[in-house]
Structure 1
Amino acid sequence: MTIDAHHLTYPEAIVVGLLQGVTELFPVSSLGHSVLLPALLGGRWARDLDVSTPESPYLAFVVGLHVATALALLLFFWRDWVRIITGFVTSVRYRRIEHPDERLAWMIVLATIPVGITGLLLEHTFRTVLGRPVPAAIFLTVNGVLLYGSERLRRRAGAAEATADPGAAADRRLAAGTFGGATLIGTAQVLALLPGISRSGVTLGAGLLKGLSHEDAARFSFLLATPVILAAGVLKIPDLFGPLGAGIHGQVLAGSLAAGVAAYGSVRFLTRYFETRTLTPFAGYCVVAGLGSLVWLLAA
C-alpha cells in the first residue's frame, strides 16, 4: 500500500501538530479532538484525517507526533528526570527503595505498567470500533463530567492545597505517597484509550481523589505521561518509514515541530495554572464541546 504525497497536506499537518501539542497536556483529550476536528470541518479534512481507518496513515502521523510531545516534556522536566533516572539506577544497583528519587522512579514504573499492557492488547480494537466522531463526542462529554466530579468529590473531602513549590521539594511530596496510590492513578490512564477521555484529565482527577493538590497532581500526571507518550510514538516510528509514511515525511517534520512547541508552551502554562486554579473550566469546555459536536454530527 502506498500513500499519495498529497494525502496529508502541510496545513493539515501543522494544525494537527498544534492541536496535538495542546490537547495532549490540557485535560481535554488529544485523540478526541483529532477525531472530531476533521469530522466537523468535513471535506478533505474528514477524508484525509480518519484514525478509525485500518492501517491509517493519519494515525501513524498523529502517534508519531507523540515523540515531539514527549521530548517537550522531557525538556521541561529534565532536572526531575535526571533525579528519577538516577534514583532508578541506584535502586537497582543497591537493591533498595529508600531515597525519595528511588521511590518516585518505582512509582512511575508501577503506574505505567497497566496502561502499557492494556494499550498493547486493546488499542487497535478501541480505535477502530470507537475512533469515530459520534463516540468521540460522547466520551468528550463524559470526560467533562469526570473532571467536574473529581473536583466536587475533592472539595467534599476538604483536601488542602500545597503552596507553589516546584522541583525537588515537589518530587519529595509525590514520593511520600504510596505505591498502591500511584498505581491507581496510573491505571486511570487506561480510560484514555477511549477517544474523548483525556489522559492528563483522568490522572489529574485520580490524583486529586488520592489527596494530592492540583499542583502536585498535575506534576505527577505530566511525569506519568512522558514514558507512555514516548513509547506510543516510538512504536509507531517504523510505520512512518514504511508505506504509511511514503510522501509525508516533510509533513511529519512540520507537524512534529508544531507539536513540540505547543506542548512546551502548554506544560509551562499548566504547571503555573494549577498552582492556584482547578479543573472546572476544562470540565465545562468538554461538556459544551462534546454535546455541541454531538448535536452537529447527528443533525448533519
Structure 2
Amino acid sequence: MDFLKAIFLGILQGLTEFLPISSSAHLRIFPELFGWGDPGAAFTAVIQIGTELAVLIYFWKDIWRIGSAWLRSLWQPQLRGTLDARMGWFIIVGSLPIVLLGIVLKDVIETHFRNLWVVGTTLIVLGIVLGIADRVSSSSKEIRHLTLRDGVLMGLAQACALIPGVSRSGATISMGRFLGYERAAATRYAFLLAIPAVIGAGLFELKEIGANDNTYGWGPTITATVVSFVVGYAAIAWLLRYVSTRSYLPFVIYRVVLGTGVLVLLTAGYRLTA
C-alpha cells in the first residue's frame, strides 16, 4: 500500500513543484484528506530531488554554460562581467537565505510550519500576492537585466517557501514580477535558483528516511522520487510554454480556492491533523 501512496505522491510532487501552487502544501493536504497522515518534512524534501533532477536535465545546457563561465571567471578577470559568470554568483548568493534559514529553523519547519491552518492561510495570501505582482509588473526586464540586488531579493522571497503553502517558484516569481521582469525570465530564474536549495535540503534530510514508524521507508521514497522526476520533466516544458503567452491568474484562483477549502474544513471540524 505504501508503494501506491508513493506513486500518487510522486505524481502530485511532479505536477505541482514547478507551478506556483506549492508542492509542499499539496503533499501536506492531500494525504490528510485520504487519511494517510502527514508524510513528513523529510519525505517531502527528499522526493523533491527527483523534480530538481528534471531541472538539471531540462536546463543542462544553461547550467553547464553558467557553471563553466563562473568557474573560469575565478581566474580569468575578463569573464567576470559576462551574464553567465554573473548568473553563477547570483544563484549562489540568492540561495544563501533559504539555506541559512532552513538550518536555523529546522525544528519549526518540521512542526509548526506544517500546521494546516498555516498552510491554508499562506496558500491564499501568497496567491493574492502573486496575482497583484503579475498584474502590476512592467514586464520590462529580461534575464540579461538581472542584477545582484534583484537576485538577492528573489532569493529572500524564495526563503519564504520554507513555509508549506508559499511555493518556492511562486514566491520567487512574485518578487521577479514586482521587480519588473517578464514572466518567462522570472520563471526561468526561479527554476535555476531552486536547484542548490532543493538538492541540498533533500540530501540533508536523507538520514531521516525510515528513521521512525511515522515516515516512509527507502522503497516508497525512491519510488516517489523517480515518479516525480518523470512527471516534473513534462511539467517544466508545459509551464515555460504557458507563461510565455498567459498570466498566472488560473494559479491564483486555484490557490485561493484550495486554501479556503482547507480553512473551511478545519473550521467545520473535519478530521485533519492540524
Q: TM-score, normalised by structure 2?
A: 0.91
Q: Is the 8 A contact 1:114 1:187 kept in 2?
A: yes
Q: Name the structure 1 match of 2:184.
A: 215
Partner of 2:259, secondary structure, is helix
1:3-60 Cα distance to aligned partner (Å, 9 max, x none): xxx7xx1111111111112222110011111111122223xx12xx353xxxxxxx32
Q: Does 1:36 align with 2:5?
A: no
Match of 2:14 in 1: 21
Summarize the alignment of residues 1-300 of structure 1 with structure 2, pairs less than 5 Å apart.
9-42=2-35, 45-46=36-37, 49-51=38-40, 59-95=41-77, 97-154=80-137, 158-160=138-140, 173-240=142-209, 248-299=217-268, 300=270
Greater Cα shift, 242-251 or 132-141: 242-251
Distance 1:244 1:104, change over 3 A: farther
Q: Structure 2 CA distance, aligned partners of 1:79 and 1:298?
A: 49
* 1:159 to partner: Cα distance: 3.2
Assess, with a 3 A threshold, how the Cα gap between structure 1 residues 109 and 246 changes in structure 2: closer, same or farther: closer
- Residue 143 of structure 1 and its aligned partner are, at CA, apart by 2.0
Give the conservation status (yes or no) of the 8 Å contact 1:30–1:198: yes
Is the contact made by 2:139 and 2:183 (CA closer than 8 Å) also made in structure 1? no
Q: Displacement of 1:249 after TM fit? A: 2.0
Partner of 1:98, secondary structure, is: coil
How far, CA to CA, are the matches of 1:289 and 1:247 in structure 2?
Answer: 26
Contact 1:40–1:297 (8 Å) recurs in 2: no
Asked if 1 retains the 8 angstrom alpha-carbon contact of 2:10 and 2:47, the reply is yes
- CA deviation after TM superposition for structure 1 residue 238, in Å: 2.8
User: Contact 2:43/2:216 (CA < 8 Å) preserved in 1?
Assistant: no
Distance 1:73 1:247, change over 3 A: closer
> Secondary structure of the residue that 2:20 maps to in structure 1?
coil
Q: Is the 8 A contact 2:210 2:216 kept in 1?
A: no
Q: How many residues align?
A: 268
Deviation at 1:243, TM superposition (A): 5.7
User: What amino acid is the match of 2:110?
Assistant: R
Q: Cα–Cα, structure 1 residues 285 and 98, in superposed 2: closer, same or farther, change >3 Å?
A: same
Q: 4+ residue stretches of structure 1 with deviation over 4 A?
A: 241-247
Question: What do the CA deviations read for 1:212-263 (whole angstroms, capped 9, x no partner)?
Answer: 1101111111011111111111111233375679982221221111110111
State the Cα deviation string for residues 75-127 of structure 1 (Å, max 9, x = none).
00000010011011112223562222101111111111111111111132133
Q: Would the alpha carbon gap of residues 137 and 73 (structure 1) be closer, same or farther in structure 2, given more than 3 Å must change? A: same
Q: What residue is the counterpart of 1:3 in the other structure?
A: none
Whole-Å Cα distance in 1 between the matches of residues 173 and 233 of structure 2? Answer: 18
CA distance in 1, matches of 2:14, 2:22: 11
Mark the runs of 5 or more structure 2 residues left unpaired by the alignment.
none
Deviation of 1:267 after TM superposition, in Å, equals 0.7
> CA-atom RMSD, angstroms?
2.0
